[in-house]
Chains A and B, each alone.
Chain A
């Protein structure tokens, strides 16, 4: 059994070294994270094996920020069941952040924004596409890529105004009659979502 050990070790070492030769192509950014004392003590103990890789050597380096602001914003808009927009280049998106409607242009400062129920609009030239978003997050990266994720997003035409009015009345009434904290919170959520839909339809 041990007669095979050196063959197996050198086979895994060659496999590891061929893997690490390709992995090293990415490590131009990583010399500072390689711990040289660790590598030296490793080589003393196991000279035939390559030092183990760390997670950071497998990660792609963070995309570099362009020196000049790009002209277009790349938007990835995804839902749990579909990818609405994937790598689409647009001029601007307006997202319904909890802090208010936020306009995102290329070169926007990197931000993570939590979204509230509201309208998200994607502006491309003179084309404006609006969606009603139920809630989600928007990640704006330094390289003018915007990742917007929502649980539900529907075009405004698909919303039924009469049901919105009914829902609003129902939840306003529930809010008035709610007793426990949780009931109040649920009724409050209902009122917020329905008023947002109402405002979206009439705005």
Chain B
């Protein structure tokens, strides 16, 4: 059997729908006029800390943040 329905180009390149959708949304946000652009960038700020675990203990966390440093 041949492969089922033609896949979209981004799926063929190994990208998932969520990645595609987020890229589209980011591009649209970058093209907004000024007050709206600042609002949307503010809204989409992320702050998270990721740590991998080994031997039942968390390793050094990776901090990814758009929030300004508080010192």
Contacts and interface: CB of A to CB of B under 8 A. Distances in A.
Contacts of A134: 21, 24-25, 27-28
A151 interface: yes
Contacts of B24: 117, 134-135, 151-152, 189, 193
Given A81-B43, A117-B24, A151-B21, A185 B9 contact: yes
Contacts of B21: 134-136, 151
A151 B13 contact: no
Interface in B1-16: 8-10, 12-15
A197 B24 CA distance: 11
A40 interface: no
Nearest to B32: A158
A179 interface: no
Contact of B33 (A135, A158, A189, A194): A158
Interface stretch (A15-23, A24-32, A85-93, A159-167): A159-167
Residue of B9, B10, B24, B33 ringed by the most chain A CB atoms within 10 A: B24
B33 A159 contact: yes
Contacts of B12: 181, 185
A152 B40 CA distance: 10
Interface of B: 8-10, 12-15, 20-25, 27-33, 36-37, 40, 43
